[in-house]
Chains A and B, each alone.
Chain A
């Protein structure tokens, strides 16, 4: 389809130019995300090329010092908490929404998706001022709650997509055969939509794990996460430890999202769904 049936020289040139242009665009896309990787093995203390030497000292800093360890721990606590709540509630909501009897879907859907649209600074400032008043600022619960708002739309959308391929007659059949609603959910529906649920969970996890703006407002010393530590480091003491942390975060996100997408694809046979 790139070339017409009888390509002219001009057309061939255009196609070549297209390939060159796209090659450059792909370089533009990939080079910046690959940059932190070599830098994280830099033995020098400043953040510049060329490397002064190869070492794993910054990984030792990230994985070995108490400060980064607790940041990693906090990130995991918050991300797992968010994933658990967002996945459970998001799946229930997606099931409800996929039922044609659900009233007012047209109103509810945009409301559910609004955390994706509202600029995150507004969400962060709003929850900070409100949570401070009710004693949720500087707590894990507060951060998890705010992250759940950001992450649940992904679960609703992903699980919703896997439910479009789900035949509701199966549930009726289960009911007629005498299965209680809960039983038929766990035995019939959940196994079929499981790829979608897991993929939604992975999106939720990554959303929370990568998030820094809300954390910046809501966290105090006790809840500093890895991205916040990185953000502070980028402003404060630029050290390649940040690139080591970035490399680790990137690796985790990419692995999880690859898995999520494979699952989503298996679940709905519909490619192209990305975070």
Chain B
């Protein structure tokens, strides 16, 4: 099996390099990604091999959640980036706003080979990740069993870190308040449901430390600033594997999401950007990221290419889907995201 995969990989690489050899790119591809361990992993899995194969130089830029910058670039026609990694809700917003290019999947790969919801009009999936709960067992004597234990301050006193963003937190709040996972988005679509979620969050508001960059949760746990934190699973696994931290991940009630990548309107080098998208969307390449950070592939036919030791750590590994879990509703956040973000920020400031 390993041998076969190697052969396949070698073959794929050979064909890829042959098709591209004629073009002889000396171009630059500017990619805006959201930094930290995730960007490091992309560098090893994709940037560097792609660079080697095509001769394109990859310029990295960090995306600090400021779609504003992209918007300003597009509006003035001065777009120094070719690709930007974004969240699904942002893809929908950016699509409506005309900030992001509508993708031509004939240049990327078969759209039906992507997991449902990971191939959008203006963005293609990079990986699947889980919003999970992490804690340090050397600090927290009793192990939490579900992400919803966030809301149990009597059993787990102390500060907890959560992402400074309404998505996931509102879902978890409703589930902690007794809403069944299947009904979460139905309830959240009503004003009463939103009130209910915020009321639940109110109960732990004073115990929350907010994080906004993906690398912060591991840091907050390491410095024992908090006893537990929500996080993207790969960042925590990275601290466990590479920094030898004793952290543990709670998968029960995780929320599954996809990272997306888009081409901003007016990018200087869309052809090269498409080449890159096609490259990373090949199943064997798509699976490669898992070796550097534990995020799963978004191609349905990529699972067999995932390195065997990485497989059990992925958010969509069978073990991690045995409990309750929720798949984030992209459409919902596309429609209601803006108002909920506004409400959330007002709630935070109060």
The interface stretch among A56-64, A73-81, A127-135 is A127-135
A137 and B78 contact, Cβ closer than 8 Å, known pairs A221-B30, A221-B32, A222-B59: yes
Q: Are A237 and B35 in contact (CB under 8 A)?
A: yes
The answer, yes or no, to whether B303 is at the interface (CB within 8 Å) is no
The interface stretch among B61-69, B85-93, B107-115, B292-300 is B61-69
Please report the C-alpha to C-alpha distance between residue A222 and residue B223 in the assembled complex, in whole angstroms: 33
The answer, yes or no, to whether A45 is at the interface (CB within 8 Å) is yes
Shortest Cβ distance from A138 into B: residue: B80
A121-159 with Cβ < 8 A to chain B: 128-129, 132-133, 135, 137-138
Of the residues B60, B73, B215, contact of A132 by C-beta under 8 Å:
B73
Please report the C-alpha to C-alpha distance between residue A135 and residue B62 in the assembled complex, in whole angstroms: 21
Q: Are B219 and A46 in contact (CB under 8 A)?
A: yes
Interface secondary structure of B, over-half rule:
mixed
Interface secondary structure of A, over-half rule:
loop
Q: Are A221 and B60 in contact (CB under 8 A)?
A: yes
A129 and B243 contact, Cβ closer than 8 Å, known pairs A46-B223, A220-B61, A221-B59: no
Q: Are A135 and B219 in contact (CB under 8 A)?
A: no
Please report the C-alpha to C-alpha distance between residue A244 and residue B35 in the assembled complex, in whole angstroms: 20
Contacts of A220 in B (CB 8 A): 61, 69, 80-81
Q: Are B213 and A235 in contact (CB under 8 A)?
A: yes
Interface residue tally of chain B, by bracket?
Answer: 20 to 34
A44-73 with Cβ < 8 A to chain B: 45-48, 67
The answer, yes or no, to whether A236 is at the interface (CB within 8 Å) is yes
B24-70 with Cβ < 8 A to chain A: 30, 32, 35-37, 59-62, 64, 69
The answer, yes or no, to whether B103 is at the interface (CB within 8 Å) is no
The answer, yes or no, to whether B202 is at the interface (CB within 8 Å) is no
* A131 CB to nearest B CB, Å: 9
Q: Are B72 and A222 in contact (CB under 8 A)?
A: no
Q: A137-B76, A221-B32 are in contact. List 6 more A-B contacts (CB 8 A).
A: A132-B76, A135-B78, A137-B78, A222-B80, A224-B61, A237-B219
User: 9 A-B Cβ contacts within 8 A?
Assistant: A46-B223, A129-B72, A132-B72, A132-B76, A137-B78, A221-B30, A232-B64, A235-B216, A238-B219
3 A-B pairs with least C-beta separation: A221-B61, A132-B72, A237-B215
